[in-house]
Amino acid sequence: MNIVLLGFPGAGKGTQAEKLVEKYDFRHISTGDLIRQEIAQGTPLGKEVEATIESGNLASDDMIISILVKAIKDEKRGVIFDGFPRTIAQAEMLDAYLARRGAQVDAAVLIKLSEAEVLKRITSRRVCQECGAVYNTNAEGYSGKCGKCGGALYIRPDDDERSARHRLEVFHKETQPLIEYYERGSKCKGVDGSGSIDSVFKEIETALGLSKGEEK
Q: Annotated catalytic sites, by residue?
A: 13, 86, 125, 156, 167
Which of 120, 117, 75 lies closest to 98, judged by CA?
A: 75
Question: Helices 88-100 and 61-72 meet at what angle, rounded to 10?
Answer: 30
Closest alpha carbon to 54 in 131, 145, 163: 163
Beta-bridged to residue 134, according to DSSP, are 127
CA distance 194 to 163: 22
Q: What are phi and psi of 4, to 5 degrees?
A: -105, 130
Neighbour order of strands in the sheet with 153-154: 134-136, 125-128, 153-154
Rounded to whole angstroms, the Cα distance separating 138 from 177 reads 32
**Cα separation of 180 and 183, whole Å?**
5
The CA-to-CA distance between both ends of the chain, in Å, stands at 4
